[in-house]
Amino acid sequence: MKLFGKSISLPFSKPSISKRDQKFIWHPLTQHKLNPELLAIKSAKGAVLKDESGNTYIDAIASWYTSMYGHCHPYITKKVKAQVDTLDQVVFSGFTHEPAVELSEKLMQILPKNQNKLFFNDNGSTATEIGIKMALQYHHNKGSDRKVMLALEEGFHGDTFGAMSVSSLSVYNGAFEDHFIEVIRLPKPLGHNNDTVIAHLKLILEEHSIAGFIYEPLVQGAAAMKTYDLDGLNKILKLCKSEDVVCIADEVMTGFGKTGKHFASDYLSEKPDVMCLSKALSAGMVGMGITSCTKKVYQAFYADEVAKGLFHGHTYTGNPLACAAAIAGLELLQSQEIQESIKNIMSLNQMFADKMRKHKSIADVRQVGVILALDLDVEMERYGNARDEMFRFFMKKGIFLRPLGKTIYILPPYVITETQLTKIYAAIEDFLDHLGQQQH
C-alpha cells in the first residue's frame, strides 16, 4: 500500500498472549508437554478476572490467597502509586525508610504480644526458610548441637530447600530429598489421638536433638485445607517450649483474617516463637514476606561476634512499594467494612457447608473462617486428568477454583459479593449433579 507516494506495510495483529507465552515462559507447577497453552488474564477488578477474549471469572481463591481485598483495590493502588513517586527501591542493609518502619509499627499492633522483631524478605517460602534458619542458628549460637527439625505430617512450607525439607508433598520434593536437612514428622492431633501424639512427641524429644518445630496452625493449606485439633496443638507447643524447641508458626496461608481472626495463632493460648508471613501480607499487589520472632530468639543473634548475626539477605528486602501495599492492606483489614465482610462470608460458607454435609457425593466438609473445603467421595490424583476436568468445568461456568485432588475449596476475597458467592455455590452443586450422573 502507498501513502503519499511511500510504500508502507500494514501491521498484522499480534498473536494472542497465550500463544506468545509458549515461546519463552516456563510456568510454576506446570508440565508444559501436557498443558502447552495457558489462559491469558488481561485485567482484574474486585473478585473478577477477565481474559484476553473478554470472558470473566469469579476468583474464588483470591489468586492463591493473596488478593484478599480484591484485585486493584483503589485504596491500595493509590497508596502504592504515591510511594512510586517518592522511593521505589533501596538496599535494606545499612539503610531504612519510612514505609518499612510504619509497616513494622502497624504489624506489631496486631501480631501476638510475644513477637518482638521483624525480618523482611520476599515471599512465603523464604519467610519459612528464614524461620528454619532462625531455629537452627539460635541453638548454634548458644553452643547447642541441635540440627533436627520437627514438622507435622502432610505439612507444606514452600519450595526452597529448608522449606521443602520440612514439607511432606513428594510431588514437589521427589528429586531433592537426598539433599534435605534432617526432619522428624509428627502425626497431627485430631482430638481422639492427642494423648498418643504427645506420647510420641516425648519419645522424639528424648531421642533426637530437636532445634525447631514448624507447623501451619489450624489449617494445612496445600494438604487440601485439612484441619486439626486446637487443644492438641497447644499441648505440642507447650511441651516443645519446655524443651527450648523454637516453635515456628507458618501463617503464610492462614494469616490476615482468613481464619476469622487476624492470625490462626490468635486461637491458641501457646504463642509461637517465630511467625512466617506472606501472601495477603502485601495484599496481592507486590511480592513480600516477613518472619517475626520473640525477643528471646533475637537475643541469641545479638552479639559482639559478627558471625552470630543472621546473614540472610534479599535484594528486594523491605521494598518500599511492597511496604506501602502492606500498610494499606493492614488498614483495610482492620476496617469495619472488611471485618463485616469476613463475618458475612463465614456465615454464608457455614450455611453452604451445612447443606453439603448432607450431599451423597461429599465425603467430608471443613470450614474455618472464610475457608471452606469439600472432599468428594471419589478417588482422584492431586494433579490427574479427573482433577483437570473438574478445573475446566468450573472455568466454563466462569468460576476460578483450583481443586486439590478430590478437594474443592473456596477462599474468596473479602470484597466478594453475596451474588458472586451464590454463583460459586451453584457451580459446585452443578458439578456434583454432573458427577452423580457420571457415576450412574
Q: What pLDDT, in 10s, does the model give residues 258-285? A: 999 999 999 999 999 999 999 999 999 9
As annotated, the residues of the chain forming the CATH 3.90.1150.10 domain(s) are 17-72+338-439
pLDDT of residue 393: 96
pLDDT of residue 440: 59
Question: Which ranges of 243-384 does DSSP label H, i.e. alpha helix?
Answer: 295-299, 320-333, 336-356
Lowest mean pLDDT among 7-21, 138-152, 291-305: 7-21
CB 139 within 8 A of CB 213: no
Tens of pLDDT, residues 177-215: 888 999 999 999 999 999 999 999 999 999 999 999 999
Would you say 206 and 243 are in contact if contact means Cβ atoms under 8 Å apart? no
Report whether 413 contacts 64 (CB < 8 A). no
Contacts 24+ apart (CB under 8 A), 363-369: 363/406, 366/225, 366/226, 366/227, 368/218, 368/219, 368/225, 368/227, 368/259, 368/260, 369/257, 369/258, 369/259, 369/260, 369/261, 369/342
How many C-beta atoms lie closer than 10 Å to residue 158's C-beta? 26
pLDDT on residue 85 = 96
Q: CATH 3.40.640.10 spans which residues of the chain?
A: 76-333
Per-residue pLDDT, 439: 67
Query: To which CATH superfamily is domain 17-72+338-439 assigned?
Result: Aspartate Aminotransferase, domain 1 (3.90.1150.10)
The residue assigned the cell 454464608 is: 348
pLDDT in tens, 320-333: 999 999 999 999 99
Higher-pLDDT residue of 325, 171: 325
Rounded to whole angstroms, the Cα distance separating 405 from 386 reads 8
Q: What residues have CB less than 8 Å from 17, skipping those under 6 apart?
A: 40, 42, 52
Q: What CATH fold (topology level) applies to the domain 76-333?
A: Aspartate Aminotransferase; domain 2 (3.40.640)
Give the Cα separation of 154 and 95 in Å (integer). 40
Please state, in angstroms and rounded to a whole number, the distance separating the CA atoms of residues 421 and 352: 10
